[in-house]
Structure formats: C-alpha cells, structure tokens
Chains A and B, each alone.
Chain A
Amino acid sequence: GENVEQHPSTLSVQEGDSAVIKCTYSDSASNYFPWYKQELGKGPQLIIDIRSNVGEKKDQRIAVTLNKTAKHFSLHITETQPEDSAVYFCAASRGGGGSQGNLIFGKGTKLSVKP
C-alpha cells in the first residue's frame, strides 16, 4: 500500500545550525505535502505545505522542497532556535479518489536544538 518514509527519526543540532528532514512517498498520484510540528503535550500544527505544481516554498526560516520525479520532499529549517525543538511530521495526500484525499503521515522526527 501507499507509504511515507521519514528520516531521520531523531535529529540534534546546535542553536543557529540548519536542520533538514527528508521524506519519500510511494503514491505517484499524491499532490499535496504538508509538514506538521508537534510540541510536547500538544496537537500537531501545520507549519508549511507544498503542492505538486511547485518545487519549493519558503516561509521565513523554514522551506520545503519537492522532487516529484524522485518522489521525495524535504523540510529545511535555518538558524535553528531552542523553540524549534519538537516532533515534525511529513505527510502526503493519498491520490486516486476514494477516501476523500486521506493524508498518509510519516513516523515523525524528534528535533532537539541545543543552546
């Protein structure tokens, strides 16, 4: 079945460094790719998303890139700060109709930013 793989599962960086999280997807019909941030004890919150007709999108210190040919997309966080510490989830839409465009989530990356 459709799958989204996310790497790494944990990532530790020094404050001010960049962090990169990568995801691959299997469903060639996927056309929507959101990234969610989950802080401890909270629900996930959308931080950025990208659609299949766009290769890159930026929002201040975060950016997402999409390579449709290779079926992978990445989250880039620059100038990391301690408040960036959280679990990050990627997701891909499930194409082919049926389940109202279900999202398939990756297993998450725990990012720790050390001061």
Chain B
Amino acid sequence: NAGVTQTPKFRILKIGQSMTLQCAQDMNHNYMYWYRQDPGMGLKLIYYSVGAGITDKGEVPNGYNVSRSTTEDFPLRLELAAPSQTSVYFCASSPTSMGTGELFFGEGSRLTVL
C-alpha cells in the first residue's frame, strides 16, 4: 500500500520563488493535514482539510495556501518563499479527526530557501 505520498523529497528555492508541495493518499481518508517540522521544535500544523472543498488554517498558516479539490490530493503552495520557510514538511491523513485517532504521515519534503 502506498499510503501518503509526498513529492518532491528535496527542493532548494531562491528567496521570492514559489512552489507547490504535492501530497496524495490512497486510503480514502477525509482528513488531511500539512505540518512543518523545525529542529527541536516538534510539529506545527499549517493547514488542514476535513474533506474535498473544505480547508482551514492551523497554527502557522502565514505564507502558505492549500486547496482540496479531491479526497486524494492536498497540495501546499508556498508563495514568495522566505528563509523562514526552510523546514521539513509533512503531509498526513486520518480517517477521523486528528484529536481522536491515528495520523498517517508521508515521508516528508525537505525545503531549503536561500
């Protein structure tokens, strides 16, 4: 089973560039999430979605946008990349709300902004 698939795994951006991190899940989960992980700081929620067409902000949404046109896909868009967005990004999905059950994570996308 593929589970949650993220692409690309690594990317270097210049300040001011834009890019999209792709996330796809094949488990038919309604809930999907984007986290960022900075060294020694745990996981911070950027955006989440409770189903196709519905998205909402998490703790650290500034500088990012998301869309959810299908159940399977949940891309994260970075506009005008800044050095502060250098991080490892994780996409996750769950069959129920994350406060109630297991999150299934992808393997991460490491982004460096120079």
- Chain A residues at the B interface, C-beta cutoff of 8 Å: 6, 9, 31-32, 34, 36, 41-46, 49, 89, 93-94, 99-103, 105-108
Contacts and interface: CB of A to CB of B under 8 A. Distances in A.
A31 to B, nearest CB: 8
A108 B105 contact: no
B15 interface: no
A32 B94 CA distance: 15
B22 to A, nearest CB: 15
13 contacts: A32-B101, A46-B102, A99-B48, A99-B58, A100-B97, A101-B98, A101-B99, A102-B45, A103-B45, A103-B98, A103-B99, A105-B42, A108-B42
Nearest to B99: A101
Q: Interface residue tally of chain B, by bracket?
A: 20 to 34
Is chain B's interface secondary structure helix, strand, loop, or mixed overall? Answer: loop
Is chain A's interface secondary structure helix, strand, loop, or mixed overall? Answer: loop
A57 to B, nearest CB: 14
A100 B31 CA distance: 10
B56 interface: yes
B100 A101 contact: yes
A64 to B, nearest CB: 14
A102 B106 CA distance: 18
Contacts of B50: 100
B106 A44 contact: no
Nearest to A6: B42
